[in-house]
């Protein structure tokens, strides 16, 4: 791992220093991030299981949003209300702004893979070249427990596969497949997990997708695709927040699309916009015009407009970038 000790002038831990911390401490509380995803939940649960396996007391902070995201994974590890932690570890949590709801306190050790990590914890181990935090946790628990078992392999497979969109996102590398292969050899139920994680949707989600696909709006000879998601559509589909995960990627599947946006109605005069592009249009610049931002190919912003007016304004701004 190159240059991991010289990140922004701060000392980052090596794996051996990290292992020593786990051996020297006990009564661990493990934090997942706000709006928890498979990476933070799978990584945190795998670490918790591994610590218990070597005789430590460890729990996951009871993130109130677990119920929206794979509640069956975190469930065996959630801390009871009277647990008094002595050492707090955050997992896949790049910034204090992402602390789970209700958490107040400081973090002793952060395990992460985001290059943007703000080094808010007393100690940090961050490997930005890893596609998921699960791959960092994997190296730690292998050393802690003297290898992987099928429970750890399942939990880490959830982490690695979800953070790479089942090995299709741009962060997927040869090393990601190597890690996944190691997890499969250790007993990960990849076929079963792929089915529930990537090939299963709620009825409400499928109904919502149907409504979205049926009402796509095309502009600029089909280079721009807009999906407007109204409160009425959500109601008609019976969809709640947890049925809306990653809807921003849906309209971009249309062939020929350079830019795609999901405009989600908040109320009559407010909406939230997620813009995805193929890189030809700079999403960060377009959203920046409306006080938002993000990355070149994925950005967001809010508008104090009716969602249909917002669509016209957004299309106009994208058109300027296409010229």
> What are the residues binding Mn ion (CB under 5 A)?
39, 92, 133, 163
Residue 24 CB, shortest distance to Mn ion, in Å, is 27
Structural contact between residues 29 and 79, judged by C-beta atoms closer than 8 angstroms: yes
Residue 48 CB, shortest distance to Mn ion, in Å, is 17
Residue 61 CB, shortest distance to Mn ion, in Å, is 17
Choice between 21 and 136, CB closer to Mn ion: 136
For β-strands 224-229 and 123-126, DSSP reports them as unpaired
Please give the C-alpha separations between residue 213 and each of 107, 240, 260, in angstroms, as whole numbers: 43, 18, 12
Nearest in space to 231 (alpha carbons), one of 173, 162, 123, 306: 306
Using CB atoms, what's the residue nearest to Mn ion?
Answer: 39
Choice between 98 and 148, CB closer to Mn ion: 98
Tell me whether residue 40 is exposed, middle or buried, using C-beta atoms within 10 angstroms of its C-beta: 0 to 12, 13 to 18, 19 or more. Answer: buried
Choice between 39 and 265, CB closer to Mn ion: 39
Choice between 270 and 295, CB closer to Mn ion: 295
* Structure token pair of residue 226: 């807009």
- What is the dihedral sign for C-alpha 246, 251, 254, 257? negative
Nearest in space to 262 (alpha carbons), one of 283, 238, 235: 283
Residue 96 CB, shortest distance to Mn ion, in Å, is 17
Residue 107 CB, shortest distance to Mn ion, in Å, is 16
Residue 41 CB, shortest distance to Mn ion, in Å, is 10
Choice between 16 and 116, CB closer to Mn ion: 116
Strand partners, 289: none
Structural contact between residues 92 and 62, judged by C-beta atoms closer than 8 angstroms: no
Choice between 4 and 220, CB closer to Mn ion: 4
């Amino acid at each position: 791992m190159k240059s991991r000790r010289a990140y922004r002038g701060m000392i980052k831990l090596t794996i051996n220093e990290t292992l020593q911390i786990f051996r020297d401490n006990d009564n661990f509380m493990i934090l997942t991030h706000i709006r928890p995803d498979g990476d933070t939940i799978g990584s945190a649960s795998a670490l918790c299981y591994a610590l218990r396996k070597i005789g430590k007391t460890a729990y996951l902070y009871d993130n109130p949003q677990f119920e929206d995201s794979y509640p069956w994974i975190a469930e065996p590890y959630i801390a009871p209300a009277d647990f008094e932690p002595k050492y707090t570890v955050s997992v896949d949590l790049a910034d204090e702004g992402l602390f789970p709801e209700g958490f107040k306190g400081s973090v002793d050790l952060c395990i992460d893979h985001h290059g943007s990590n703000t080094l808010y914890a007393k100690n940090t181990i961050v490997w930005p070249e890893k596609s998921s935090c699960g791959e960092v946790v994997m190296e730690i628990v292998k050393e802690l427990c003297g290898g992987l078992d099928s429970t750890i392999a399942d939990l880490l497979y959830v982490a690695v596969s979800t953070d790479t969109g089942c090995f299709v996102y741009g962060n997927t590398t040869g090393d990601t497949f190597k890690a996944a292969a190691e997890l499969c050899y250790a007993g990960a139920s990849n076929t079963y997990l792929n089915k529930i994680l990537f090939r299963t949707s709620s009825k409400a989600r499928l109904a919502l997708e149907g409504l979205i696909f049926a009402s796509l709006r095309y502009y600029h000879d089909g280079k721009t695709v807009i999906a407007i998601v109204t409160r009425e559509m959500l109601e008609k589909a019976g969809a709640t927040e947890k049925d809306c995960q990653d809807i921003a990627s849906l309209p971009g599947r249309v062939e020929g699309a350079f830019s795609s946006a999901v405009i989600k109605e908040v109320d009559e005069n407010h909406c939230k916009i997620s813009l995805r592009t193929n890189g030809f249009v700079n999403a960060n610049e377009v959203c920046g015009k409306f006080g938002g931002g993000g990355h070149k190919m994925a950005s967001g912003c809010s508008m104090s407009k009716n969602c249909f007016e917002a669509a016209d304004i957004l299309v106009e701004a994208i058109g300027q970038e296409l010229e």
